[in-house]
């Protein structure tokens, strides 16, 4: 049975319920192999995945350039199959994680041009404000983004890691197609306000890091992470917090095995069953894992199974903050 596509606002076509996060192909999770990344992108399209997620900051443009290469190699037919999402707003220096945020209209226009160039496309399907600069009112940010829509450079707009109040104000200026925030078994904050508000406004909730940056899969050896890996500096992946969290993942693994699923499939299916407007975008650089993740769209969980999963990973059960200190810049509603 083909999974029912999920809405991404009124301006974009509904998409396969699981997208592909491309960030790890260029940065944050250790070395990558471009050939396998390109093969994974092609495999994703073959498996019906439509939503491809990148940002100008991933690899400081390298991730968009990789997608640009992929699109160029496939031509117009490939481009037409994709819903291409990228983001602006995080300004960093090469090799440095620390960042500043720029939401000024002039910066937004320049960032959009640079992303279009690197992607080699005439239009971005979904353009997100990645992080908020509180010095610029959200009305001005969305106003500048709406101008890009009117100019034909962007089809639909989104926001990332904003509060419910900001989402409501933004949506009053121009329809917001998608809100992208971290949401997974170990990051439950969106359930309080953001998920209900998205449902009320008809905004898709794009769940990033839905596999807990690999921790929830049970396949990650935190002791083996290199200093260059973002996770080696993330409180959830280190010290006693990592040990406590690993015990929860072990329990999750027992459920998954009993039900004939992988941990990743269980984590993704759980998200899909939470709300019909949730679109997870798991990241992977490998075709085999792509298959594993896409398979979650066909998993059916009963209410009883959902309750069993929730009993293992109750809100607040995970130990440690979800970002190191420098990562909280531009995030509204720290939790």
Ligand X SMILES: NC(=O)c1ccc[n+]([C@@H]2O[C@H](COP(=O)([O-])OP(=O)(O)OC[C@H]3O[C@@H](n4cnc5c(N)ncnc54)[C@H](OP(=O)(O)O)[C@@H]3O)[C@@H](O)[C@H]2O)c1
Q: Residues 70, 127, 186, 208: which binds ligand X (CB under 6 A)? A: 208
Interface residue with ligand X among 16, 29, 70, 323 (CB under 6 A) is 29
Which pairing describes strands 154-160 and 20-21: parallel, antiparallel, or unpaired? unpaired
Among positions 133, 284, 305, 313, the unique one binding ligand X when judged by CB under 6 A: 284
Pairing mode, strands 154-160 and 51-53: unpaired
Over the range 289-307, which residues count as b (16 or more CB within 10 Å of their CB) and which as e? bbebbbbbbebebeeebee
Per the CB < 8 A criterion, the answer to whether 279 and 6 are in contact is yes
Instruction: Among 187, 234, 293, 305, indicate the residue that binds ligand X (CB under 6 A).
Output: 293
Asked if residue 253 binds ligand X (CB under 6 A), the reply is no
Is 127 part of the annotated catalytic residue set?
no
Contact 124, 64 (CB under 8 A): no
Our CB check for ligand X shows the closer of 46 and 151 to be 46
Q: What is the largest CA-CA distance in the chain?
A: 54
Sign of the four-CA dihedral 317, 307, 267, 277? negative
Binding window for ligand X (CB under 6 A); candidates: 67-75, 211-219, 242-250, 303-311 = 211-219
Verify binding: residue 285, ligand X, rule CB under 6 A.
Answer: yes
Q: Find the binder of ligand X among 166, 180, 187, 222 (CB under 6 A).
A: 180
**245 near ligand X (CB under 6 A):** no
Among 235, 237, 270, 273, CA closest to 252: 270
Nearer to ligand X, 21 or 61 (CB): 21
The owner of tokens 């606002």 is 9
Nearest-approach distance from CB 20 to ligand X, in angstroms: 8
**Separation of alpha carbons 159 and 133, rounded Å:** 12
Q: Which of 38, 286, 301, 306 binds ligand X (CB under 6 A)?
A: 286
DSSP string covering 159-207: EES--HHHHHHHHHHS-EEEEEEE-BTTB-GGGTTHHHHHHHHT-EEEE
Between 151 and 325, whose beta carbon lies closer to ligand X? 325
Within 8 A by CB and 6+ apart from 211, the residues are 184, 217, 264, 267, 268, 282, 283, 293
CB of 327 to ligand X, least distance (A): 9
Residue among 58, 127, 183, 323 flagged as catalytic: 58
Kindly tell me which residue out of 129, 156, 170, 211 binds ligand X, with binding defined by CB under 6 A: 211
Q: Which stretch binds ligand X (CB under 6 A): 5-13, 107-115, 282-290, 315-323?
A: 282-290
Q: What residues between 101 and 140 interact with ligand X by CB under 6 A? A: 130
210 near ligand X (CB under 6 A): yes
- Mask of contacts with ligand X, 218-237, x by CB under 6 A? -x------------------
Contact 235/321 with Cβ under 8 angstroms? yes
- Per CB under 6 A, residues contacting ligand X are 21-24, 29, 53, 130, 160-161, 180, 208-214, 217, 219, 262, 264, 281-286, 289, 292-293
- Among all residues, which ones are annotated catalytic? 58
């Amino acid at each position: 049975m083909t999974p029912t596509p999920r809405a991404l606002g009124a301006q974009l076509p509904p998409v396969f319920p699981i997208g592909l996060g491309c960030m790890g192909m260029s940065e944050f999770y250790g070395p990558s192999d471009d050939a396998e990344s390109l093969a994974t992108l092609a495999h994703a399209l073959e498996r019906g995945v439509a939503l491809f997620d990148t940002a100008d900051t991933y690899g400081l443009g390298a991730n968009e350039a990789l997608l640009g290469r992929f699109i160029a190699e496939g031509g117009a037919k490939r481009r037409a199959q994709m819903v291409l999402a990228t983001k602006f707003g995080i300004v960093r220096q090469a090799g440095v994680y620390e960042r500043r945020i720029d939401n000024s209209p002039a910066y937004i226009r320049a960032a959009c041009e640079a992303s279009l160039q690197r992607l080699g496309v005439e239009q971005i399907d979904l353009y997100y404000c990645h992080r908020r600069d509180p010095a610029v009112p959200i009305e001005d940010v969305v106003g500048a983004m709406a101008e890009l829509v009117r100019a034909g450079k962007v089809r639909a707009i989104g926001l990332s890691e904003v509060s419910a109040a900001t989402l409501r104000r933004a949506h009053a200026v121009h329809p917001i197609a998608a809100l992208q925030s971290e949401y997974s078994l170990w990051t439950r904050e969106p359930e309080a306000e953001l998920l209900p508000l998205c449902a009320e406004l008809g905004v898709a909730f794009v769940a990033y890091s839905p596999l807990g940056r690999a921790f929830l899969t049970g396949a990650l050896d935190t002791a083996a992470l290199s200093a260059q890996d973002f996770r080696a500096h993330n409180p959830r992946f280190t010290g006693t917090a990592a040990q406590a969290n690993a015990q929860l993942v072990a329990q999750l693994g027992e459920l998954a095995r009993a039900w004939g699923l992988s941990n990743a499939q269980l984590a993704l299916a759980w998200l899909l069953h939470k709300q019909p407007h949730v679109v997870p975008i798991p990241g992977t650089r490998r075709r085999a894992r792509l298959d594993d993740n896409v398979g979650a769209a066909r998993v059916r969980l009963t209410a009883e199974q959902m309750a069993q999963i929730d009993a293992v990973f109750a809100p607040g059960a995970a130990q440690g903050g979800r970002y190191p200190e420098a990562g909280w810049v531009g995030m509204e509603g720290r939790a």
